[in-house]
Structure 1
Amino acid sequence: MTIIVRQLSFNDTSPTQIAKYIYLDQNISNDVYFNTSNGEQLRLGSSLIFTKCAINIGENVQKCVSNTIRIQYDQECIMTNPATEPIRVIVAMDLSDDLIASLQAVSPRLEITRYEGEVPATAWANAEVLYTGNQFPLPEQAPRLRWIQVPSAGMEGVLRNPIGQAEDVVITSTSGMHAQQLANYTWLMILAFNFRLPEWMADKPKAHWPDRPQSHYVPVDIDQQTVGIVGYGSIGREIARLAKAFGMRVLASKRDIKHPAQRDTDYIQPGIGDPEGDIPERIYPGEAIANMAAECDYLAVTLPYTEGTHHVIDDSVFEAMKDSGVIINVGRGGVIDEKSMITALSSGKIRGASLDVFEEEPLPSSSPLWQLDNVIISPHVGGSTTRYREKATAIFAENLKRYVENRPLINMLDRETGY
C-alpha cells in the first residue's frame, strides 16, 4: 500500500539517519514521527505518536521530506488520529437502531451519523469513515475521508467514482461473507443439472409424460465427476469443501498459484472453506482456464469483475469444455463473454448454464438467455440471506475495531488487482 504525505515541514535542524521504524498518519493535517538510529524521535508537526510500520528507507530525514513524498510500507494498515480525537463515521445505509448501536459499542471515540436518504453535501467535510453501497462524495467534498467500507464483495461500484480512485482512501469489502450461501447455491445447481431438473421443468407445461427413455434422466454418480473452480477465493474454497465431501474431483484456477493459502487479512468464516488450499487436485494459473475446463463436468465461476477478468471465460473456454459440461456463474457477469456463451448453449456445445449474474442487470427481456431451456436464471440473489445486513455490519464492526486499534483491516482493496 502507498501512503501519500503532502506539504510537510521539517522542524529538526540536524538530519538523522532513519532507522527501522517510521511512525506516520495518513491525515494531511497531522504529524509524522520518525524513530532514528540513536533512539531519538523526530517530529514533523505538533501532535501525538502513531502506529509503527516496519520500513527501512535508508536516507536521511531531510532528503525524505518534500512537498509530496510516497512511502511504501509492508503492513496493510491505516493509522487513526490521536486517541483523544473523535472518529467521525457516516453510515449512508438504512440500518436498524440495534445495528447502529453495535457499531457505536466498538469505541466511545466513534461519532456515528446515519443517513437513510441522501447525505447532505455539508456532512462530508469532517467524515473520516464511510459505510455505504451507493453514496460517494467527490474528493473535494470529503478532504478528511480515509476509509470506505462497502457492504458487498464487489468493489467495482466505488471504483467507478472519483473518490474510489484516490490512493489515500482505503476501501474494504465484505468479501467472504457470501461464501457459504453462494457455495450452497452452486451445489444446488450442480445437483439440479445432474438430475436434469431444467428438462423436467421444461416438460411439465406439456402435461405429457416424456417420450425419452428413462435412461436419459438417470444421473451420473456425483463422485465420478469433476468440478473446476475459476477463482479460488472464499467462495471457491467453500465450493471445493462441499464437492470434496460428496466425493467429487476438484480442480481450481487462481491468479497466484504459488500461494494457495488465504491471506491473514481475508475474512474467513470459521469452519468452512479451504484456508490452506489443500483440496484441489491441481491448481491452474489464470491463463490456463481452458485447459482446466476440458477436464470438467461443471465449471464454477467465482471471479470478481476487473479489467483483468473481463471476458476471461470466452470462446476458447467454451470450445474446450465437454459437450456435457455445465457452467455456473456466481462471480460477476462481465467475467463471461455472454455472446460466446449463448452460442455454445444454443448449439449444444455445452449442456447448460446456471447464471446468477449478468453483463447487464436487470437482464433485458431481449436477451436470448430467457428463451433457452438449458439455462437457469436467478436475479442476483445467490449470495443473499435474510441476515445479510447483520452479517455485513458485523464485518464493518470488526474493521472499525481494527481501525481504532491501528491494526490491519480485513478485505482491503488491492489496487493492483482491482479487488
Structure 2
Amino acid sequence: MDYDYEIVYKKGKLNQNADALSRLIQDNNNEISYNDFMNKYESKSIQSSSNIQEKLGDLFEAPPNHSLVHCVSQDFEMGKGIALIFKTRFGQVDELKSQNKTVGQVAYISDQNRRIYYLITKALFFQKRTYQTVFKALMNLKILCQQNNESHLAFPRISCGLDNLYWPKIFDMIKYIFHDSSISITIYNLPDEHSKNFVYSIDDEDLTFENFKGFHQREVKIPKPKVVNTPISNIKTFIIPMSCDYSISNKFLDFIKTHFTDLPENPKVTDIIAKKLTHQFIFVLFLKEYNDQSVTYEDLFATFVNLRLMLNFNNIKKFTIPNIALFKNNSIIREDTFFSLLYFLFRDFEYEILCDERINVSDENLIKEILFENHDSPLAGHQGFERTYEKIKKFYFLDNMKDPIRKYIRRCKICQKSKTDFKHNKSPMIITTTSTKLC
C-alpha cells in the first residue's frame, strides 16, 4: 500500500522538542583527535590564537569573572604543588568526588561568581599524566565551558610542574583545541629567577623497554656517572636495591630495618617503598624474588620507571644509588648496560653512583701497579680480558676501565707468546692421478 506523504528529518537542538532521532547528541570529540593534533604539532603548523595569551603573574589574582582550571587525579588527593593550593582555597573535595568523574572528564565547583574546573588526567595521585589524557580532558572542558557559557578561563601551566610534561607541547594543545572558540584564555606563569635553567623532562611516552634496547644497541656515548664514597647517613636521597625475601646477605638490610618499622610481608618484584626522614629520603626497590637470583633487565627497567614517577611526584631531581652490576648474584647485569639504562631513564636528573667498596683510581702509576697485580702476578696467572676486568672492577674504579685493561693485556709479551692460535691451517692439497682401470 502506498502512502501519500514524505518523511523529512530536521536537525534538532539539545534540550528542545524535536524528533528523537534528531536529538541525538553529536560527539564532537571525534572531529578533532589526538593523532590529528600530533600531526599538526610535529609539522609545526599550529597557529597562534588571538583568544589565548600567556602572561607573568599569580593565577589566583585573575579577575573574578575568570573561571579557574587545573589538573588533578581521579582520587582527588591534592597534597602537593598547585593542587594543594586549590584544595586549601576552595575545598569542597567531597562534592568533587560525588560527581564520579573518570580520567579524561572534568569536575567543577562554584566559588562565589565563578567556577573552578578540575581536569582529571590520571587515576591515582602518584601516577604520571600523559599527553593523551590531558588532550581528552581539554576537549571535554571545551564542551562543558560552551554549555556553561563561559567567556574567560584562567590556567596555570598545567602538567609541567610535578608531572614535568613539555609545556610548549601542552600550550600548542590548548591553542589547537580552543582556536575556534570565543572563550578568552589567559595562562598565568609565576616569574622564576631560575626559569632559564629549567630542563624539560624527556617524553615519558618514549620510556619503553623496546626503545631502551634500541638506544643501547646504537652505542650512544653516555656521560660517565659521578662516583662517590659517602656515608649513607649523609646522602639526601638514597636508592636501596632489595630482594623480596629480605635476605640477610644484603648489606643494607640492617639499615632498612632500622628506619622501616612496617615493611611489607610479601612484596612483589618492581614494588617500591619510601620513607621520608628528617634529613633524608629513602626508596627501597624490590628487584628480584630471591637473593640468589640475578636481576633481569626487564624487572630493573620496570622498577626504575616506577622510581622515576615517585621521584617526580616528590619533586626530587638528585639521588644516589649503589652500583647494582657489582652485587653478588647479579651476573646478568653488566655495568655498561646498567649505566646506559640509568642515563636513558634519568638523563634529566642528577644521579650519583655509591661506590663504598671500590677505590676510585686516577693516578697512572697506581693504575699500572693494579694492572700488574691483577694480571702479571703469580696469583693472577695472566688471565684473559674478561676475568681480569671482573677481578679489578670489584675493588677499583678506573677511568674508561675497559680500555686500559684491554691495551695492557694486548701488550703483555708472555700472553702473546703463550696465546693459543685458534687458526687452523689446512694442509696443501695433493693432486693425484685418476685411475683409468678397474683394480
TM value normalised by structure 1: 0.26
Greater relative contact order (Cα < 8 A, sep 6+) = 1
The structure with the largest helix share of the pair is 2
Please identify the structure whose Cα radius of gyration is greater. Answer: 2
